[in-house]
């Protein structure tokens, strides 16, 4: 079962419907019908050995710059806004330096600008992902191009992956994401019919816009970032991301844990930084 | 033999009635949780495991502790355990059932539980835990039931159970080791990332489980004509004492490494649990209660003179059991999540429905235990005075 499924994913290049959850296959079919990409590789599909990002926070100036990326992602992926931090679901968000790099921030004399700098956080699509290692059902798995996928149909909601991910990248649907809050407001304000909604009791996270890569588009956050987020193949020495990484000082979150995050941050900003 | 569970005194039925009532109320709460989602609990994005998984972990220990009776009796031919050993095996059965139920109520999509078997994933510790726990449950049911049935007929247990009994010994160690590996192999959770985790789990299990068994044995003697044996109880008391010292010693090692190394990530969870962190200290009173009760139990257990008094022994065992229940059933899991992955503090406290469901699972465990003990005790009352044959 698992092999067939995996092979299918490979043949399909990207699994527009299945990857995000067979439970939504029916919905997907009803709403959009099968697309060509699900049965044969789309010639437009972006391909790489290992996808990765460079996030240059010096290019993110205003709150709006950050919010644009967050909204782009959450909007097209039907990420519910539950409205309380306890049950919160988020794929990408803004956070402080101290919270982004907690192991390097025990410094009382830290540069003020850096201390106040905000970062964009999302799943690192680690090369050695702890989440994939622990999942008892292969509901989270790594694709050959480096995308760490999440099959919301297979997930049993044990939340082992949430305990294991050192980056807090994962959210659990503590409430029904298709539901409404106490005042009747739907958690998903405006549903994107092109992308499945999830169900109660499963874990979700950023899936690197696999559905966009399949039709030759960049991840939504990169597209909305005005050049602050670069996307490319980390295994290709000529890719844009690799050129930045080799010429600029970049840092990754908690590299000491050996998960090999695929997001590189450029802080820039001051001359001495 | 099960028919023995169907006849009993008024008190027996009343007790079962109370348990069933608790289970009923808890079941209604569970249905609520099933509909609304785990948002009904105190769990959050930051503290994603809580009371349920804590209880699960604790009870795996109780289940594994049966081995502390099996080893002396079957490997060292320690005859005094001949009567009490069945109580240990049946306690293991009910503990594993509770473990499975706690996992079940913690799952977001419980109807998909078979996905674990349909998509076997050997790199996941949880997959192995599933395997070893189910195996242990079957082993103990088979062993307990056949030895008891043989006893009843006054014959030796069939030959084929012997290998199963021997197998159950490493198997018991494995269930708790694998459960410790759920935590001890996770990068980034300093509180859990410790090589002594499995050792500590086993030590606390071999203290807490037998302590519970002593309490149960004393109760059985009080409420039935079956006497598990005073010497057996005292011998178990000795096991409890040694294991508890080992447990406290191992906990001390954790403190040393965290605080002497002075590595913030290692110290923070301990600080959160015992002194509070960044102004948050919901667990502090509980953890100190646990420490004081551990100390009290050790003082009472270490002097053989005190321990020999069964009232003192019972008190010490209750104190020890509660201490470990707090430490392992609660603090150990929550401590792993605080501070969170961003070095911030999000606290956790179980909600009413969550606590009720927890109580309900315990009630199921006690129901199973009562029925099994009723059978065992009835058989033993029948065969009282007959020689032991195995
Ligand atoms: S950031 Fe977390 S969820 Fe994403 S791949 Fe790494 S370990 Fe997995
Ligand atoms: S919650 Fe889902 S994705 Fe996470 S480990 Fe469990 S089954 Fe896998």
Distance in Å, alpha carbon of B80 to nearest chain A alpha carbon:
43
* Coil/strand/helix, residue B344: coil
The pLDDT-based confidence of A244 (bands split at 50, 70, 90) is very high
* Residue A12 included in any domain: no
Question: Could you tell me if the CB of A157 is within 6 A of ligand 2?
Answer: yes
Share the mean pLDDT of chain A.
86
Whole-number percent of chain A with pLDDT over 90 = 75
Buried b / exposed e along B45-66 (16+ C-beta atoms within 10 A): bbbbbbbbbbbbbbbbbbbbbb
Q: pLDDT above 70 covers what percent of chain A?
A: 83
Share of chain B above pLDDT 90, in %: 84
pLDDT digits (tens, 9 = 90+) for A46-82: 999 999 999 999 999 999 999 999 999 999 999 999 9
Question: Considering the domain boundaries, does residue A216 fall inside one?
Answer: yes
List all residues 6 or more positions away from A41 whose beta carbon is below 8 Å from its beta carbon: A11, A12, A13
pLDDT digits (tens, 9 = 90+) for A168-200: 999 999 999 999 998 999 999 999 999 999 999
pLDDT averaged over every residue in chain B? 93
Q: Is A69 in the pocket of ligand 1 (CB under 6 A)?
A: no
Higher pLDDT, A11 or A84: A84
d(CA B350, ligand 1 centre) in Å:
27
pLDDT band at A14 (very low <50, low <70, confident <90, very high): very low
In tens, the pLDDT along B138-178 reads: 999 999 889 989 988 888 889 999 999 999 999 999 999 99
- Indicate if ipTM > 0.90: yes
The three-state (H, E, C) secondary structure of chain A, written as one string: CHHHHHHHHHHCCCCCCHHHCHHHHHHHHHHHCCCHHHCCCCCCCCCCCCEEEEEEHHHCCCHHHHHHHHHHHHHHCCCCCCCCCCCCCCCEEEEEHHHHCHHHCCCCCCCHHHHHCEEEEECCCCCCCHHHHHCCCCCEEECCCCCEEECCCCCCCCCHHHHHCCCCCCEECCCCCCCECCCCCECCCCCCCCCCCCCCCCEECCCCCHHHHCCCCCCHHHHHCCCCEEEEECCCCCCHHHHHHHHCCEECCCHHHCCCCCEEEECCCCCCC
* pLDDT tier, A17 (very low <50, low <70, confident <90, very high otherwise): very low
Give the confidence band of A8 by pLDDT, cuts at 50, 70, 90. very low
Beta carbons of A254 and B37 less than 8 Å apart = no
Contacts of B26 (CB under 8 A, 6+ apart): B356, B357, B359, B360, B361, B363
Q: Which fold has domain B2-382?
A: Formate dehydrogenase/DMSO reductase fold (1.20.1630)
A257 CA → ligand 1 middle, Å? 12
Q: Which residue has the higher pLDDT, A41 or A256?
A: A256
Distance (angstroms) between ligand 2 centre and the Cα of A132 equals: 9
- CB-based contact (8 Å) between B37 and chain A? yes
Selected for mutation to probe chain A from B52, B109, B186, B268 (highest A CB count within 10 Å) is B109
Interchain contact B254–A (C-beta under 8 A): no
Query: Domain-by-domain residue ranges, chain B?
Result: 2-382
Of all ligands present, the nearest one to the C-alpha of A126 is: 1
Q: What is the mean pLDDT of residues B54-83?
A: 91
Compute the nearest-CA separation of B255 from chain A (Å): 20
Q: How far is the CA of B182 from the centre of ligand 2 (A)?
A: 13
Give, using CA atoms, the residue closest to atom 5 of ligand 1.
Answer: A125
Per-residue burial over B193-226, b = 16 or more CB atoms within 10 Å of its CB, e = otherwise: bbebbbbbbbbbbbbbbbbbbbbbbbebbeebeb
For B261-301, the pLDDT digits (tens) are 999 999 999 999 999 999 999 999 999 999 999 999 999 99
Contact B384, B224 (CB under 8 A): no
- Kindly state whether residue A18 falls inside one of the protein's structural domains: no
Query: What sign has the CA pseudo-torsion B300, B306, B307, B310?
Result: negative
- Taking only the tens place, the pLDDT of each residue in A203-235 is 999 999 999 999 999 999 999 999 999 999 999
Ranked by mean pLDDT, which of A13-17, A48-52, A101-105, B147-151 comes out on top? A48-52
Position A107 confidence tier, pLDDT thresholds 50, 70, 90: confident
**Per-residue CA distances from A21 to A27, A214, B121 (Å):** 10, 16, 19
Give nearest CA residue, ligand 2 atom 2.
A155
**Per-residue pLDDT averaged across A138-166, rounded?**
96
The ligand whose atoms approach the alpha carbon of A122 most closely is 1
Q: Which of A15-24, B60-69, B188-197 has the lowest mean pLDDT?
A: A15-24
Residue A270 has pLDDT above 50, yes or no: no
Does A85 sit within 8 Å of B346, measured CB to CB?
A: yes
| pLDDT category of residue A39 using cuts at 50, 70 and 90 | low
Instruction: Say what the pLDDT of residue A79 is.
Output: 97
- The tally of domains found in chain A comes to 1
User: Which residues sit opposite A93 in a β-bridge?
Assistant: A121
Residue B205 CA, ligand 2 centroid: distance in Å:
28
* A235-267 per-residue burial string, b: 16 or more CB within 10 A, e: under 16: eeeebebbebbeeeebebbbeebebbbbbbbbb
Unique residue bearing structure tokens 């020999």: B308
Asked if the model's pLDDT at residue A37 lies above 60, the reply is no
Q: Answer yes or no: is A16 within a domain.
A: no
pLDDT for position A105 = 63
* pLDDT tens profile B27-41: 999 999 999 999 999
pLDDT in tens, B359-371: 999 999 999 999 9
Do the domain assignments include residue A55?
A: yes
Q: Examine residue B339 and say whether the peptide bond preceding it is cis (omega within 30 degrees of 0).
A: yes
∠ CA A171-A176-A178, nearest 5°, is 105
CA separation for the pair A230, A221 (Å, rounded): 9
Burial class from Cβ neighbours inside 10 Å (0-12, 13-18, 19+) for residue A189 reads exposed
pLDDT for res A16? 42
B305 interfaces chain A, CB cutoff of 8 Å? no
Cβ neighbourhood burial of A1 (10 Å; 0-12, 13-18, 19+)? exposed
Q: Per the CB < 8 Å rule, is A156 touching B115?
A: yes
Cα–Cα distance list, A235 to A41, A229, A239, A256, A261 (Å): 22, 18, 8, 21, 14
CATH number for the domain spanning A172: value is 3.30.70.20
Instruction: Say whether B121 and A135 touch across the interface (CB within 8 A).
Output: yes
Q: Is A262 in the pocket of ligand 1 (CB under 6 A)?
A: no
Three-class DSSP category at B124: coil
Q: Give the whole-angstrom CA distance, residue A131 versus residue A108.
A: 33
Comparing CA positions, the residue from A134, A139, A185, A129 lying closest to residue A161 is A134
By C-alpha distance, the chain B residue nearest A163 is B48
- The whole domain housing A148 covers 51-266
């Amino acid at each position: 079962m698992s092999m067939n499924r995996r092979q299918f994913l490979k043949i399909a290049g990207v699994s527009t419907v299945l990857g995000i959850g067979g439970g939504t296959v029916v919905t997907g079919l009803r709403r959009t019908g099968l697309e060509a990409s699900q049965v044969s590789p789309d010639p437009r599909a972006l391909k790489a050995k290992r996808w990765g990002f460079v996030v240059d926070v010096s290019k993110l100036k205003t709150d709006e710059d950050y919010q644009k990326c967050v909204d782009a992602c959450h909007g097209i992926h039907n990420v519910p806004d539950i409205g309380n931090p306890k049950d919160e679901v988020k794929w990408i968000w803004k956070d402080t330096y101290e919270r982004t790099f907690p192991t390097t921030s025990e410094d009382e004399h830290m540069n003020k600008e850096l201390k106040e700098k905000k970062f964009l956080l999302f799943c690192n699509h680690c090369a050695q992902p702890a989440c994939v290692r622990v999942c008892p059902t292969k509901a989270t798995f790594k694709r050959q191009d480096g995308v760490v996928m999440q099959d919301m149909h297979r997930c049993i909601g044990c939340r082992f992956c949430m305990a294991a991910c050192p980056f807090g990248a994962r959210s659990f649907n503590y409430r029904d994401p298709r539901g409404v809050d106490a005042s009747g407001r739907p958690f998903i304000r405006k549903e994107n019919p092109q992308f499945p909604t999830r169900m109660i009791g499963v874990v979700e996270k950023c899936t690197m816009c696999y559905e966009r890569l399949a039709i030759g588009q960049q991840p939504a956050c990169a597209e909305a970032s005005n050049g602050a987020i670069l996307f490319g193949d980390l295994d290709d020495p000529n890719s844009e991301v690799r050129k930045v990484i080799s010429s600029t000082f970049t840092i990754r979150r908690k590299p000491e844990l050996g998960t090999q995050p695929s997001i590189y941050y450029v802080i820039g900003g001051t001359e001495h930084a | 033999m099960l028919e023995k569970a169907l006849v009993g005194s008024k008190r027996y039925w009343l007790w079962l009635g109370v348990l069933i009532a608790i289970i009923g109320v808890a079941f209604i709460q569970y249905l609520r949780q099933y509909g609304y989602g785990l948002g009904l609990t105190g769990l959050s994005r930051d503290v994603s495991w809580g009371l349920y998984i804590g209880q699960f972990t604790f009870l795996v220990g109780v289940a594994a502790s049966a081995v502390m009776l099996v080893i002396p009796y079957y490997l060292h031919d320690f005859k005094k355990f001949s009567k009490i050993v069945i109580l240990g095996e049946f306690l293991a059965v009910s503990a594993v059932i509770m473990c499975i139920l706690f996992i079940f109520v913690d799952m977001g999509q419980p109807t998909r539980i078979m996905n674990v078997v349909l998509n076997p994933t050997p790199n996941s510790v949880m997959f192995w835990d599933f395997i070893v726990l189910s195996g242990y449950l079957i082993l103990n049911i088979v062993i307990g039931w056949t030895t008891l049935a043989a006893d009843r007929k006054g014959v030796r247990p069939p030959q084929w159970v012997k290998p199963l009994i021997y197998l159950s010994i490493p198997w018991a160690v494995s269930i708790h080791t694998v459960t410790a590996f759920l935590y001890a192999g996770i990068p980034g959770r300093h509180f859990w990332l410790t090589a002594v985790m499995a050792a500590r789990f086993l030590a606390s299990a071999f203290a807490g489980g037998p302590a519970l068994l002593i309490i149960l044995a004393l109760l059985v003697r009080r409420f039935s004509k079956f006497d598990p044996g005073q010497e057996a109880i005292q011998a178990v008391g000795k096991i409890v004492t040694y294991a508890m010292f080992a447990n406290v010693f191992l906990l001390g090692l954790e403190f040393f490494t965290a605080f002497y190394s002075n590595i913030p990530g290692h110290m923070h969870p301990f600080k959160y649990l015992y002194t509070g962190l960044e102004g948050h200290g919901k667990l502090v009173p509980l953890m100190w209660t646990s420490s004081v009760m551990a100390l009290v139990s050790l003082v009472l257990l270490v002097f053989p003179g005190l321990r020999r008094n069964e009232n003192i022994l019972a008190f010490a065992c209750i104190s020890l059991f509660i201490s470990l229940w707090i430490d392992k059933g609660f603090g150990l899991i929550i401590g792993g999540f605080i501070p969170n992955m961003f070095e911030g503090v999000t606290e956790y406290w179980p909600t009413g429905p969550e606590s009720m469901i927890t109580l309900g699972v315990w009630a199921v465990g006690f129901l199973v235990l009562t029925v099994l003990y009723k059978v065992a005790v009835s058989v033993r009352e029948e065969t009282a005075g007959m020689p032991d044959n195995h």
